[in-house]
Structure 1
Amino acid sequence: MSFQPLRRLSGQILKESSTSLAQVIQTYAKTKQLNKGKELHGQLLRTGYPLCIFLTNHLLNMYSKCGEVDYALKVFDEMPQRNLVSWTAMITGFSQNLRFSETLKAFSQMRGAGENPTQFAFASVIRACVLPGSIEIGRQLHSIALKLCLACELFVGSNLADMYSKCGFIVDACKVFEEMPFKDAVSWTSMIDGYGKSGDFEAALLTYKRMINDGIGVDKHVLSSALSACSGLKACKFGKCLHSTVVKSGLEVEVPVGNALTDMYSKSGDMECASNVFRIDSERRNIVTYSSLINGYVEMDEIEKAFSLFVALQRGGVEPNQFTFSSLIKACANQAALEQGIQLHAQVAKFNFDRDNFVSSALVDMYGKCGLLDHSIQVFDDISTPTEVAWNSLLSVFALHGLGKEVLKTFCRMVQRGVKPNAITFISLLTGCSHAGLVEEGLNYFNSMEKTHGIVPRAGHYSCVIDLLGRAGRLKEAEEFINSMPIQPTAFGWCSFLGACTIHGDKERGKLAAEKLLQLEPENSGAHVMLSTIYAKKQKWEDFRDVRKMMRYSSMKKLPGYSWVDVGNKTHTFGPEDWSHPRKKEIYEKLDSLLDQIKKAGYVPNTDSVLHDMDDNSKAELLRYHSERIAIAFALISLPAGKPIIVKKNIRVCLDCHSAIKYISKAVGRKIIVRDNSRFHHFADGLCSCGDYW
């Protein structure tokens, strides 16, 4: 019927059939015209129209779909009699309006009233078990569905598979899915999405391929899930194929698809394609897209672009989220950009993300990598319930600062709190033991990984043990350990062994390690440099010159040592014998003054650090202008007296500089923190936190 305005119907409403009125109510439900639905309901009550169960069920559905489930419940409670449709309408209404406990209660009451549920009622109540993670109730519903022969019905099966998938029970989800005689796009999408969320990205893509082979049409949800799986695998080639499908389907401007494309390209390291996707419809992009692009720039070490994008999103009125801040704080940690990190911390507090575990963990890491150990500890202590991510960040910071005993204490606290360690935890544990010379403790933890904690050691763990034994000078044991390994050492493992042979002057083992390292990384100039160092220490100058000649012929260059220090908002970088700084005169006057002071205090140059065949005076002259000393001299004339000096260096600090900085810290009464390429050294009052073991 063509339904007239209600004010003209009051006299003739009694003449309308229940079927006609039901059609009108159904229209109001579909178009969510709640006010018109209420008005019609009022007219029916005022005119005394007989509200049969058929018409009342339509009213229940209309109120529920319009979000007024309490109105629906009131109508339901006043019904003189109810049928299966009435119960189904209420169960569905509660489920659609996310009132899950009432969904389950209504389902239970329906069963108590002797009604067997339809597949639609089952589908609704199963959906109620997803968000709260009520998997046990879901399993009970599955049993009931099996007894009533409804488990293979499309709506029931799809929702069971979706429930198991979203609750992380992928094996159960697969079983339900495979037993379904007919599968629709929704059930296929649930499986792709479930595999992706559980981290089984390969299975997600295989499911997508099966779906295509079965002729199931894809939509934005399917493509988003498949692209997310490509992100996890960094499968850019397959992702580009999916991008073609997206373009052909006209779905590139869909926000979820655009987000997934940006994330896929960003995680694959293809920032050009990522930014191109972003620009296609940048005005519709949300914080998810921005965060993916920012994280991609951070991973590719394009920090300036990451921060420029952060400024752009703020100017565009887009609020950053915890993932945005985590990525940017990580960038500050990697660059040791303390001032920017502090500014981000202030913004984190402004947006109330300072209690978020991921953000707090990133702050713990950032302060630690910038040298402010106390700040790291303070941020960690402010986390109410630290997750394994936060604990691992703190463990990593202690290891980086060479505080092996603190690493062990923190690990004990972590386990006592019931937090389960993972593979990353043991990397920090072994590294901490290695830098502190805790060899037996480190070996015990390595042996406990699989036996006690069920964690199979990976290549990184084996490399840590090689480093642990090598640093301690136990080169024979390190070699035996390498020979007994179930996997081949990585380049890092051989590099650690070669470094240990260099420090302890083992020519034969060093030569073997260098050969193995060069097989894996032929262009690694460090292997040649360390091998030449071994020859120089043994005064095998002919061998030394042969190695250096080989480097020249192959166009290899020794990595020059650089040091940098932050003063204000600017980073000042210095190379060896650097004469380029505008304040060079003041810097070198300070260097000369420092050298005089520390010589009077007992400093004697360690000329073994200079790998050249020349007299000791010439060697000492080279040592005095190493980049870390220039950076310290500049900091002393530039920073306030009470502020600690934090110097970052791209290669290992040499023995002579380490000795000189100890003397400088005592002579000037300042705390000096030096971060080299593997750890931190805290110099104060003539001592170093490493105890001369590094």
Structure 2
Amino acid sequence: MKVQNLSTFSKHILTVRDSATVANIIKNYAKTNQLYKAKQLHSQLITTAYPLCTYLTNIFINTYSKCGEVGYALKLFDKMPRRNLVSWTAMITGFSQNQFFLEAIATFCDMIIAQEIPNQFSFSSVIRACASLGFVEFGKQMHCFALKCGFGCELFVGSNLVDMYSKCGVMRDACKVFEEMDSTDEVLWTAMIDGYAKNGDFEGALLVYKRLVNEGVVIDHYVLSSTISACGALRASNYGKCLHSVVVKLGYELEVSVKNALTDIYSKVGDMESALNVFGFDSDRRNIMSYTSLIDGYVEMDHVERALTTFVEFRRQGIEPNEFTFSSLIKGCANRAALDQGIQLHAQVIRFNFDRNPFVSSILVDMYGKCGLLDDSIRVFDEIENPTEFAWNSLISVFAQHGLGKEAVETLDRMIRRGVKPNAITFISLLTGCSHAGLIDEGLNYFYSMEKSYGVVPQEEHYSCVIDLLGRSGRLKEAEDFINNMPFEPNAFGWCSFLGACRIHGDKERGKIAAEKLMQLEPENSGAHVLLSNIYAKEQQWEDVRNLRKMMRDANVKKLPGYSWVDAGNKIHIFGAEDWSHPQQKEIYMKLDGLLDKIKEAGYIPCTESIPLNVDEQTKEQLLHHHSERIAIAFALISTPVGKPIIVKKNLRVCTDCHSAIKYISKVVNRKIIVRDNSRFHHFADGLCSCGDYW
């Protein structure tokens, strides 16, 4: 029967066969998502006074719900003179499918009041609503009710119960449901794999997959995409390659979810060639998840330009970014301190209405902080309506990076007053802030109260922060005693912090011990050799300096070259020490020489002891004068508008002499200069630095 002939229908009740035909037409519209035709048919049935029985009304409710018109479905439901179990279930499912989770739960309760006994489908829908809302206690009641009604071991209900418990973080109950099932299918196994993954137990997810294989369960593309995603989180590339071979063997390589998962794992392990091969050239089989996985990979490899190019590429194809796309791109800009690109992405975030997304906002807080714009970072945070734990941590980290320990402590107090519990990451940032601000007693108090007052057990990173806290302040004996009483050996950061403190405070003996420990942990790391060499040079023990450099040559340990970069004219300009490669090198060095004359007149005296070489003073002064950060500042002065703050990024710690010189430069040129080294930010203005010469 064709729809255009419905106007000739009899006004009398038609046969069951006719009703079945109409029902099939409506069901087909639901399957093919043809909402307009379903509405047209519905209006023709009403116009011809065709009797809409409960059966057909239920099918219309289901069709409207599947097509996203839950409002139409509800109007039909409310006007029904008689409802049956299918009516109630269709409405509950419709609400749940369209993310009206509270309404789904309320309708389920109304059904019980109407003395209708639920079936496995109504149970599944209401449990799904509980999972989405995190209503674990109500979900447990539904679990008990399902058991009472005899549906507790039904596969559809069991899968949703596993999903509900895992989403609510109760994996013990999810496992119990799984083990009590009379039979299993791939949907239930997938729910278990996803459950472990959602709770961060990626090894557990892989063990479930292995068990699934051993029991001979059918492997579908949902199982594979979930398992590959768990591999991606673990960066288990070898296991991921094995799964890739299973994908090819079973013929799932064209499934979008599987392609996305494979792209993700290869991107995370830095194998961008394989990621691009999986990604392919068929644009019809790419979606925003595919592109976001590629962007994540480029960001992890610090190929921010490639990540931004990928963003432009999919925007040209009309694909809209999501919050994860923006978070990854902004993170890349933050790590590179690429302010101009970060600001442009912020504008895109606002355009796509993600500026209220707590996760994206938190990344923006971090980005502006890492780019040196502290006020903008605070402003973005203040605009977050309900800051999450991640947002608070971002702000505390920003204050720590800028050496504002007092503000970091105050932010922690605000965080606790707002009912947000600090975690391990919070205390790493807090202790770092205390260390850079010289808040020794405050930092120690927080460290020793972490577990007792906040339930956070100190880990290696926290102990390393305390070593830095004590060492930076010159309390080397206390730092040594602290190391000796630690429950484990310090990590590389801990020994590096202690070695750096020994260099600053001239403790050769402790410095040698720290350097030896650091060389054992990271023999290829040149930092230990360089710091120990500086200690020897300070004591003018040139023979020891030469021996150490020979040791580096013999072991093929190369000193990490220092370089600085600055943004100007929508480009990143990178400079090394004694760098003569820039097209404007003549103007740069003229500016640099002029600055040297001016800062010497203002009182600058070169600190040549920071050069660990046995050469004359004039040569040392020349080497200091051509350090990368000074070249970058000279370039910024001739390339950026007068009065605009200069922001320079450096891959190594700024040396003592450059720190002194930049203070004088900020005074003689009357410009604010912000330098981000590998440890923290220094804000130079009017001959002073924000660190107060304590860094």
Report the TM-score, using the length of structure 2 for normalisation. 0.91
Change over 3 Å in CA distance of 1:243–1:690 after alignment to 2:
same
Change over 3 Å in CA distance of 1:11–1:296 after alignment to 2:
closer
CA separation in 2, counterparts of 1:591 and 1:176? 72
- Structure 1 counterpart of 2:438, which letter? G
Q: Report the equivalent of 1:176.
A: 177
Shift of 1:232: 1.6
Match of 1:488, SS state, is coil
Moved more, 560-569 or 105-114: 105-114
Asked whether the 8 Å contact 2:389–2:422 carries over to 1, the reply is yes
Shift of 1:432: 0.9
Shift of 1:460: 1.3
Q: Report the equivalent of 1:127.
A: 128
CA separation in 2, counterparts of 1:650 and 1:104? 55
Per-residue deviation, residues 408-432 of structure 1 (Å, max 9, x unmatched):
1222222222222111111111111
Q: Report the equivalent of 2:147.
A: 146
CA separation in 2, counterparts of 1:399 and 1:3? 69
Q: Confirm or deny that 1:78 pairs with 2:81.
A: yes
Change over 3 Å in CA distance of 1:130–1:559 after alignment to 2:
closer
Asked whether the 8 Å contact 2:431–2:465 carries over to 1, the reply is yes
Q: Report the equivalent of 2:572.
A: 571
Q: Confirm or deny that 1:213 pairs with 2:235.
A: no
- Structure 2 counterpart of 1:301, which letter? D
Q: Report the equivalent of 2:360.
A: 359
- Structure 1 counterpart of 2:688, which letter? L
Q: How does 1:650-669 map to 2 (within 5 A)?
A: 650-669=651-670
Q: Report the equivalent of 1:585.
A: 586
Q: Report the equivalent of 1:677.
A: 678
Q: How does 1:189-338 map to 2 (within 5 A)?
A: 189-279=190-280, 281-338=282-339
- Structure 2 counterpart of 1:636, which letter? L
Per-residue deviation, residues 149-202 of structure 1 (Å, max 9, x unmatched):
432233333333333233333222221221111222222222222222222222
Select the residue among 57, 61, 67 that pairs with 1:64. Answer: 61
Per-residue deviation, residues 509-562 of structure 1 (Å, max 9, x unmatched):
111111111111111222111111111111222212111122223333323332
Q: Report the equivalent of 2:388.
A: 387
Asked whether the 8 Å contact 1:60–1:89 carries over to 2, the reply is no
Change over 3 Å in CA distance of 1:70–1:37 after alignment to 2:
farther
Asked whether the 8 Å contact 2:58–2:86 carries over to 1, the reply is no
- Structure 2 counterpart of 1:145, which letter? A
Asked whether the 8 Å contact 2:401–2:433 carries over to 1, the reply is yes
Moved more, 674-683 or 623-632: 623-632
RMSD: 2.8
CA separation in 1, counterparts of 2:673 and 2:395? 22
Per-residue deviation, residues 286-309 of structure 1 (Å, max 9, x unmatched):
111111110110001122211221
CA separation in 2, counterparts of 1:565 and 1:36? 63
CA separation in 1, counterparts of 2:416 and 2:527? 39
CA separation in 1, counterparts of 2:393 and 2:87? 54
Change over 3 Å in CA distance of 1:467–1:27 after alignment to 2:
same
Shift of 1:395: 1.4
Moved more, 56-65 or 441-450: 56-65
Shift of 1:57: 4.7
CA separation in 2, counterparts of 1:679 and 1:102? 50
CA separation in 2, counterparts of 1:96 and 1:653? 56
CA separation in 1, counterparts of 2:40 and 2:295? 48
Select the residue among 24, 36, 41 that pairs with 1:27. Answer: 24
CA separation in 2, counterparts of 1:94 and 1:330? 36
Match of 1:155, SS state, is helix
Asked whether the 8 Å contact 2:333–2:339 carries over to 1, the reply is yes
Shift of 1:142: 1.9
- Structure 2 counterpart of 1:220, which letter? H
Shift of 1:100: 4.7
- Structure 1 counterpart of 2:626, which letter? Y
Match of 1:130, SS state, is helix
Shift of 1:357: 2.1
Change over 3 Å in CA distance of 1:578–1:448 after alignment to 2:
same
Moved more, 118-127 or 192-201: 118-127
Q: Confirm or deny that 1:117 pairs with 2:131.
A: no
Change over 3 Å in CA distance of 1:85–1:524 after alignment to 2:
closer
Asked whether the 8 Å contact 1:94–1:102 carries over to 2, the reply is yes
CA separation in 1, counterparts of 2:670 and 2:624? 23
Match of 1:262, SS state, is helix
Change over 3 Å in CA distance of 1:196–1:512 after alignment to 2:
same
Match of 1:564, SS state, is strand
CA separation in 2, counterparts of 1:325 and 1:511? 46
CA separation in 1, counterparts of 2:229 and 2:489? 32
CA separation in 2, counterparts of 1:196 and 1:527? 39
Change over 3 Å in CA distance of 1:73–1:661 after alignment to 2:
closer
Asked whether the 8 Å contact 2:7–2:48 carries over to 1, the reply is no
Asked whether the 8 Å contact 1:253–1:281 carries over to 2, the reply is no
Shift of 1:333: 1.6
Shift of 1:64: 2.6
Shift of 1:277: 0.9
Change over 3 Å in CA distance of 1:451–1:149 after alignment to 2:
same
CA separation in 2, counterparts of 1:650 and 1:208? 43
Shift of 1:463: 1.2
Report the TM-score, using the length of structure 1 for normalisation. 0.91
Per-residue deviation, residues 375-432 of structure 1 (Å, max 9, x unmatched):
2222222222222222222211211111111211222222222222111111111111
Moved more, 189-198 or 507-516: 189-198
Change over 3 Å in CA distance of 1:479–1:339 after alignment to 2:
same
Asked whether the 8 Å contact 2:365–2:394 carries over to 1, the reply is yes
Shift of 1:220: 2.2
CA separation in 2, counterparts of 1:514 and 1:472? 19
- Structure 2 counterpart of 1:396, which letter? S
Q: Report the equivalent of 1:375.
A: 376
Change over 3 Å in CA distance of 1:109–1:420 after alignment to 2:
closer
Q: Report the equivalent of 1:523.
A: 524
Moved more, 566-575 or 478-487: 566-575
Shift of 1:94: 5.6
Q: Confirm or deny that 1:630 pairs with 2:627.
A: no
Asked whether the 8 Å contact 1:336–1:370 carries over to 2, the reply is yes
- Structure 2 counterpart of 1:28, which letter? I
Match of 2:577, SS state, is coil
CA separation in 1, counterparts of 2:9 and 2:351? 57
Asked whether the 8 Å contact 1:69–1:94 carries over to 2, the reply is no
Unpaired segments ≥5 residues, structure 1? none
Shift of 1:471: 0.9
Asked whether the 8 Å contact 1:395–1:428 carries over to 2, the reply is yes
CA separation in 2, counterparts of 1:360 and 1:425? 17
Change over 3 Å in CA distance of 1:601–1:66 after alignment to 2:
closer
Per-residue deviation, residues 295-338 of structure 1 (Å, max 9, x unmatched):
11000112221122112112211122222222222222211222
Shift of 1:573: 2.6
Change over 3 Å in CA distance of 1:479–1:42 after alignment to 2:
same
CA separation in 1, counterparts of 2:469 and 2:2? 85
Q: Confirm or deny that 1:412 pairs with 2:413.
A: yes
Match of 1:594, SS state, is helix
Asked whether the 8 Å contact 1:57–1:85 carries over to 2, the reply is no
Moved more, 20-29 or 391-400: 20-29
Match of 2:394, SS state, is helix
- Structure 2 counterpart of 1:169, which letter? V
- Structure 2 counterpart of 1:480, which letter? D
Q: How does 1:369-518 map to 2 (within 5 A)?
A: 369-518=370-519
Asked whether the 8 Å contact 1:37–1:62 carries over to 2, the reply is no
